[in-house]
Chain A
Amino acid sequence: MSKANSLLKKAGSILFDNKVMIAFAMICLAAILLSGSSLSFIVDGVFTRITRNTFTVLALIIPVLAGLGLNFGIVIGAVAAQIAVFWVVYWGFGGFGGMMLSVLIATPLAVLFGYLVGKLFNRMKGAEMIAGLILGYFADGLYQLLFLVIIGGIIPVDNPKLIISGGVGVKNTIDLTGNLKYAIDSVRMVDIVTVLFYVVLAITLVKVVLHLLKKYQLKKNDLILFGVAGVIFGISYIPVIERFLSTDRLGLLDALTAVLIVLAVIQLVKIGKSLFIEKAQPKALVKPIAALVVYGVIYALTFIPQIEEVLLFVKLPVLPFLLIAGLCWFNHKLLSTRLGQNMRTVGQSQSVAMASGINVDQTRVIAMIISTVLASWGQLIFLQNIGTFSTYGAHTQIAQFAIAALLVGGASVQKATNKQAIIGVILFHTLFIVAPQAGKQLFDNAQIGEYFRVFVSYGVIALSLAMHAWKKYKKDDQTPTGGPNQESSILAPVSVKQEIQK
């Protein structure tokens, strides 16, 4: 009885912790059912949007960790990317090389911008979010000044395709077809495998040399990594596989199968380890075996005709997904480094961080630089996938939508994870895809659906900011020390300390 009770309680708390996500999932489900769109259409749309937007959403996680709240300043990273894209297109570069050049230009710009934003935020501790929001608008103004007046007005340019006919200012849209469109998406898998192999080879060689110089102790894992890379590289020369790998898109079915196989292998290794090396109790085997069963069921489900149709319909660009996975890994690994630990400490309490000798201001600036650079890369992925660069509009909503997506996934001002970012992107963009159609079915007006999704994106931010502030305020009421994420330092009347001094 008590066990059932505690189970119920646990279930209740899980539901409560994920209330935003669950509520949103319900809205999505209702909208999907209402819209009557085909499943292939929805799944395809969602995966396209995952490709485009996830990277930017993941760029928000580090500032949350470092106590800077939701980084509305990622607009500035996007601006850096767009400046780079304009010049690259203007100079006539294209393809993967052009994209690399864009990265090369955007990154130092983003580092500079991130540094400046970080410095500014350090002057406004506790008001970072509102400052970031306003800063985004301010940066938009400067960006417009650059693109409308300075380019052509001060910097001489000559390109009738990009410049407004008067010779001053950049046109509203820049077509990326034929230069940067799909520059990342269309990288072939076989090239990725080759490059990865040479990278691993180079790393291993350096390690071996260092080992011979007795500066580094070669580990077993290094050799295993090299072995795996070598085997994969070798396999890629088998004609069947080579043909398979020489495309740039991966069918969702193949991708799912591959992921399931990899996961299954991991679980099998676990089982083997606990059986033969650790000689663990059979109880420890329950989890991996259960996982295996789940994978099996998922794989079996793919044979249902309706699902198979969807899975065969959707094709994924490979490199963007690898980049997203890489960023997840980076966010995850950063936590175990010293810098990541410092950020976490700063995020929890600046005074504690200061007392333990962490340079708080510097840590915050680094967090902002990383976030801004990642946001600029995210914008590059977005632009090359969408294929048309709306000069004055591409960056304006990016912070808004990215933050709404992250919050929908269940993140808060103080806590955000990779998982929440990915779930958030899926849910938020599902609603984005089906809302117009649902609005049309429900109110006979697609526009209402579109306004509804905008309302939801604003509303979810308003709600979660309010809930956060409420919780915070209640806590502060009991222990009157202003937290790091508060505007209180600006708005609070004269503090108690000053009161006494008076």
Chain B
Amino acid sequence: MKTLKNFYDNIGLPRLIIGLFFVFLVVTSIVLGFSPAAIFSDVLRRWLMYGTLVLAMVPGIQSGIGLNFGISLGISAGLLGSVLSMEISFLRNWNEVLGAGAPWLTLLLALLFGVVMAAVLGTLYGMLLNRVKGSEMTVSTYVGFSVIAFMNIVWLSLAFKNGELSWPLQGRGLRNTASLSGSFGGLLSNPDVVKSTQPAGLQWLAFRIGEFTIPLGLILVFALLCFFVWLFFRSKLGIAMSGAGENQLFTTSSGINVDKKRIQGTAISTVLGAVGIILYAQTYGFLQLYNAPLMMGFASVASILIGGASVRRAKISHVLIGTLLFQGILVTALPVVNEVIEIGTLPEVLRIIISNGIILYALSKTKGGNQ
């Protein structure tokens, strides 16, 4: 009985409800006759798609800046990197020159651009957050919004030659959603893309077993990223950073520069955001510009909170569990809802209620814990 109560205390009511809801949805959809393989493929895909963006929350929380709603900064850097690298690839005509290597080089270049820009922006952003200690969340939310609004102006004024990016017959402005099918879309996760573009030696990147799709390439990349973050927080630097987030007084007295650790944490979080959006776009197959990333920060925050993180403590396991539950519900809810009541917008409504409900819960909970 005691272990049961312990177990309940560890999980917490909202996660229990959400977990049971997920199980309920999965069971219902199987009962309704949907193919389990298709459902689980979809869940797996979405899990990996959002995983890195959620992973980006960990360094922020651990270094003490709290829930990083300003992840839009990293997202914007990643998008800008992708757009630039696609334009370069088009101008240099890599698709013909390099063949199967072209998408790889585009992807790597996008990551490189994104990471460098995110590192610079993240450092500056970290310096700002050090000056607004105590109000990081409100400030970062609005910094995130401002950045997205600013990037809207940038997207609208870029004049690119690549027809997949820019509107046809207009000198300026990029499309709302740019297809990545001629570029790195699905390179790590879509069996069809891998089959048609990659040599035989790379067919393991994504394949099907029966109806079940295994995006092995993406799984490996995500696992590697998780491993790096895990390793980082076991290194000296990482431990010092967690210390800075956990107890400023103690850390300062042991000679660690708290402000510097916070800046590093913010920068790493921003960089992971840039990588995250590129992997997201890769899996999704489209680059979403303009206002599409506006609320992505909220989804990431909600995911890690569902996973059991608090505004001061987060682990890799929280990322994995949270993303699985949150995305799993969204994936499975759609067919079930459509079958039962035919209201297509209900999953979207559910998403809004769940994600914001869990953030509110976490905010009120931490306060209770402090008293």
> Chain A residues in contact with chain B, CB under 8 A?
120, 123-127, 129-131, 133-135, 137-138, 140-142, 144-145, 148-149, 153, 166, 168-169, 443, 445, 447-448, 451-452, 454-455, 458-459, 461-462, 465-466, 468-470, 472-473, 476, 482, 485-494, 496, 499
Contacts and interface: CB of A to CB of B under 8 A. Distances in A.
Contacts of B156: 445, 447-448, 451
Interface string B336-371: 000001110110011011001101100110111010
Given A140-B352, A455-B153, A153 B341 contact: yes
B345 A148 contact: yes
Chain A to chain B: the 10 pairs with minimum beta-carbon distance, closest first: A141-B352, A469-B132, A462-B142, A488-B134, A469-B135, A455-B149, A141-B353, A138-B356, A458-B145, A451-B152
A492 B134 contact: yes
A495 to B, nearest CB: 8
Question: Which one of B66, B246, B349, B357 has the greatest number of beta carbons of chain A within 10 Å?
Answer: B349
Contacts of B356: 134-135, 137-138, 141
Nearest to B149: A455
A490 B366 contact: yes
11 contacts: A138-B357, A145-B349, A149-B349, A451-B156, A458-B148, A458-B149, A473-B131, A490-B370, A491-B133, A492-B134, A493-B245
Given A131-B360, A131-B363, A469-B135, 12 more contacts: A120-B360, A123-B367, A135-B360, A148-B343, A168-B343, A445-B172, A451-B149, A461-B145, A462-B145, A469-B131, A491-B64, A491-B137
Contacts of A144: 345, 349, 352
Contacts of A124: 363-364, 367
Contact of A149 (B64, B141, B346): B346
B153 A473 contact: no
A462 B134 contact: no
Contacts of A129: 138
Determine chain A's interface SS by DSSP, over half rule. helix
B142 A488 contact: no
Interface in B144-178: 145-146, 148-150, 152-153, 156-157, 172-173
Contacts of A488: 133-134
A148 B249 contact: no
Contacts of A125: 367
Given A133-B141, A138-B360, A469-B135, A493 B64 contact: yes
B343 A465 contact: no
Contacts of B87: none
Contacts of B141: 130, 133
A123 B132 CA distance: 23
A148 to B, nearest CB: 6
Interface string B120-138: 0000000010011111111
Question: Which one of A124, A469, A486 has the greatest number of beta carbons of chain B within 10 Å?
Answer: A469
Contacts of B153: 448, 451-452, 455
Nearest to A70: B138
A120 B364 contact: yes
B343 A153 contact: yes
Contacts of A469: 131-135, 138-139
A462 B139 contact: yes
A140 B131 CA distance: 32
Contacts of B139: 462, 465-466, 469
A135 B153 CA distance: 29
A343 to B, nearest CB: 22
Contacts of B334: none
Contacts of A468: 135
Given A140-B352, A486-B134, A458 B142 contact: yes
Question: Which one of A134, A149, A473, A492 has the greatest number of beta carbons of chain B within 10 Å?
Answer: A134
B298 interface: yes
Given A133-B138, A465-B135, A490 B152 contact: no
B119 to A, nearest CB: 21
Given A148-B349, A443-B157, A489-B367, A459 B134 contact: no
A383 B305 CA distance: 37
Given A445-B172, A470-B131, A490-B366, A455 B150 contact: yes
B247 interface: yes
Contacts of B370: 489-490
A404 to B, nearest CB: 10
B309 to A, nearest CB: 14
B208 to A, nearest CB: 36
B57 to A, nearest CB: 14
Contacts of B363: 124, 127, 130-131, 134, 490
A482 to B, nearest CB: 7
B134 A491 contact: yes
Question: Which one of B173, B356, B359 has the greatest number of beta carbons of chain A within 10 Å?
Answer: B356
